[in-house]
Amino acid sequence: MTRQQTHKLAVAVITIVAAIVVIPIILVIGVVFWNGLPALSWEFLTQPPTNGMREGGIMPAILGTVLLTFGTAIASFPLSIAAAIYLAEYAGDTRLTRWVRMAIVNLAGIPSIVYGLFGLGMFVLFFGFGTSIVAGALTLGILTMPVVISTAEEAILSVPQEFRTVSLSLGATKWQTIRHQVLPNAMPGIITGIILGLGRAAGETAPILFTVAAFYLPELPKSIFDQTMALPYHLYVISTQVPGMPLEIQYSTALVLLLIVLSLTLVATLVRTRMRRRREW
């Protein structure tokens, strides 16, 4: 075999293997759409469940997930972005910051059920928030912190060093430089990280299991200290805990959850490409 042929063969093999990666995601989305679309209707999206969840819609679960996602945003981002700014701009390389970095990496590796139990102990019981949206949002907030911190730090570090030097040379202070040069230019990356984190939070079941999710609660929450239904947990409940559950309702619920998570990812991608196109350096 000549070198040319070896090259072609290698490219072909790599292409095929790469294509295989796409198959699972197409299958998952395809199966869920195929089975879930028929039962999807306006009523399904806007009505509470009835008859032991075997009929009616999933509106309280959708609303709960939306509320939790917003709450997660509020809980996670100020802290995450402050941490990212600190690590990227101020921390340097000391023993302490190496520990902080290691903690963040490990935080990303903790199983989500452990977050759930931590949330139960910390927010539900110790802080006395009870099983509530606050407790759930805080738990999910901690869960999203590693991904938001690391993407935001990367975005901050990718801002060209010359902008910092020029800004400082014109008499700006370090904080002014961060505020007026670094953060605006890092924003696309930070926003991407935020939305990816939210996408993860919206789909998690275990962390909300003990902290916020209601098994069956057709009324809507009246305050942030109320419980709420949420899509991932609702899906788990109707798939395993309710006998005689119609399959198409399960698939439709999965479809709605999938659409929410996918649309968050899509928004992240759009924001990133749009803002990157506007960037001129």
Partner 1 sequence: MTQPIISIQNLFYTYADGTEALRDINLDVPPNEVFVLFGPARSGKSTLLRLLNRLSDLIEGAQRQGTILFNGGDVFDRRVNVSVLRRRISMVFAIPTPLPGSIYDNLTYGLRMAGLKDRTELDRRATQSLKQAALWDEVKDRLDASAFALSGGQKQRLCIARSLALEPDVILLDNPTSGLDPLSTATVEESLFELKDRYTIIMVPHSVQQAARVADRAAFLLDGELVETGTAGDMFVHPKDQRTEDYITGRFG
Nearest residue (CB) to partner 1, 101 versus 164: 164
Q: How far is the CB of 179 from partner 1 (least distance, A)?
A: 10
Q: How far is the CB of 260 from partner 1 (least distance, A)?
A: 34
Nearest residue (CB) to partner 1, 67 versus 178: 178
Q: Provide long-range contacts, Cβ within 8 A and 24+ apart, for 258-264.
A: 258/28, 258/29, 258/32, 260/62, 260/65, 260/202, 260/231, 261/199, 261/202, 261/203, 262/29, 264/195, 264/196, 264/198, 264/199, 264/202
Nearest residue (CB) to partner 1, 41 versus 176: 176
Q: How far is the CB of 14 from partner 1 (least distance, A)?
A: 37
For residues 27, 29, 32, 36, the Cα torsion angle rounded to the nearest 10 degrees is -140
Q: Which of 98, 180, 274, 276 binds partner 1 (CB under 8 A)?
A: 180
Nearest residue (CB) to partner 1, 59 versus 88: 88
Read off the amino acid at residue 252: S
Q: Which of 50, 176, 241, 269 binds partner 1 (CB under 8 A)?
A: 176
Residue with tokens 């990280």: 193
Nearest residue (CB) to partner 1, 222 versus 277: 277
Do residues 58 and 44 lie in contact, with contact meaning Cβ atoms separated by under 8 Å? yes
Which positions lie near partner 1, rule CB under 8 A? 92, 162-163, 165-173, 176, 180-181, 184-185, 279-281
